[in-house]
Structure 1
């Protein structure tokens, strides 16, 4: 079984993140890493592979040179090989364009099952797995907190606010998993050393038969028109309780329309 896991190299959420001059995410002035939500996808792919008779896991990412760090992390967790799509014309690509690039790369790699995280920790849109399935023309089973594959069928549990659904689809298919699907494993020292020798294939837009006008800022269907920095935090209002504290607090909350 050929499993492809889509992962993303994202700015560290604990860093000072902001936009660049062209209102795209500034990825150069802050450290990057493998999106935490994608670690759950890698973990579930590894568990599925452990139960399969013959499975190979390919991790796939679209991004700049530094995005190889995300691939190496996934390889050190146990994936077998990696594919890195890198091209200067990809700068500013939105989710729709990214889904096109991923679909072409997945088709070129070959697949039976594609596993994604529920969302990226930078864009947090959560729509890419569905877009990818649509482009590939295969079923999608998304937002799973439990997933398994048996006899050519992928099955999973989706937990909602009011109900739990049991879902299944015939392979090939695209699934996405949530952060409730199981804690991702830490790479071992042996895994880290082994990852250095695992193959990483590099592709560009020409390799995928994609025109530059279809991606990047020029081909984006969604762009950021304006962005303002969050105002600095100011000192809070202190209510001294001299017998009227409760009343003053209630008046303050009412004035802020909290109650």
Structure 2
């Protein structure tokens, strides 16, 4: 069984994001980049399924600039067998990525696509669902537990009321939540081995996909700074402020 894992190169989660002075986007100059944390969880889950003998191959895929090769090498250091980079300088949006992944799924014929539920840069949470719709495959989102056997996947997902367990037929798309696993650290020997693993580079045109953006970002702005708190003398004053100033009552 082959598992395909999309991974995205994003601004490292430890970095304080700065907005460009012209409001056109986020400043990424000289900023540390890393693999999207949810995608790292997806890679770990795929590798665990391979180690358990359920999967035979794990293929990591990234779409973006040439520097995304570093992200793919990280995925291969965790345990992915090979990588595919769809190289483009275009600012990719979720639908374009889903179409690229569909083209790769048609080519690679994976039985499962495991992806992060969202990327921490745009928080779109759309690509997995769009890919499922384009492929006509069942989907299980926000997975906190995954078990695969006999051509089916049993996925436990967290919902507002507790836990929901789904059984879906393969091939399918699964998106990962934070509680699914704890990704391993890539050891130095595995990092060295990853450098020798095959990495294929293709262009969107090679896959017959038009990645022209359909959405235009008008402006990016930092959130308003939080105002200082106020001490109140008693409950009556608290209620008065909530009612008349905050207007939440």
> Normalising by structure 2, what TM-score?
0.88
Aligned counterpart, 2:9: 9
Q: CA deviation at 1:207?
A: 1.4
Instruction: Specify the SS of the correspondent of 1:155.
Output: strand
Please give the alpha-carbon distance, in whole angstroms, between the structure 2 residues aligned to 1:79 and 1:185: 13
Aligned counterpart, 2:126: 127
Please, which runs of 5 or more residues in structure 1 have no aligned partner? Answer: none
Instruction: Specify the SS of the correspondent of 1:65.
Output: coil
Change (3 A) 1:26 1:53: same
Aligned counterpart, 1:223: 216
Aligned counterpart, 1:103: 102
Aligned counterpart, 1:77: 78
> Normalising by structure 1, what TM-score?
0.85
Instruction: Specify the SS of the correspondent of 2:200.
Output: strand
Q: CA deviation at 1:229?
A: 3.2
Aligned residues: 247
Please give the alpha-carbon distance, in whole angstroms, between the structure 1 residues aligned to 2:48 and 2:204: 32
Q: In the TM superposition, what are the counterparts of 1:202-213 in structure 2 within 5 Å?
A: 202-210=201-209
Aligned counterpart, 1:256: 246
Please give the alpha-carbon distance, in whole angstroms, between the structure 1 residues aligned to 2:19 and 2:104: 28
Confirm or deny: 8 A CA contact 2:61 2:85 kept in the other structure: yes
Q: CA deviation at 1:237?
A: 5.2
Write the deviation string for residues 92-113 of structure 1: whole angstroms up to 9, x where unpaired: 2211111111211232233111
Confirm or deny: 8 A CA contact 1:133 1:173 kept in the other structure: yes
Q: In the TM superposition, what are the counterparts of 1:32-111 in structure 2 within 5 Å?
A: 32-52=33-53, 55-88=56-89, 91-111=90-110
Q: CA deviation at 1:36?
A: 0.6
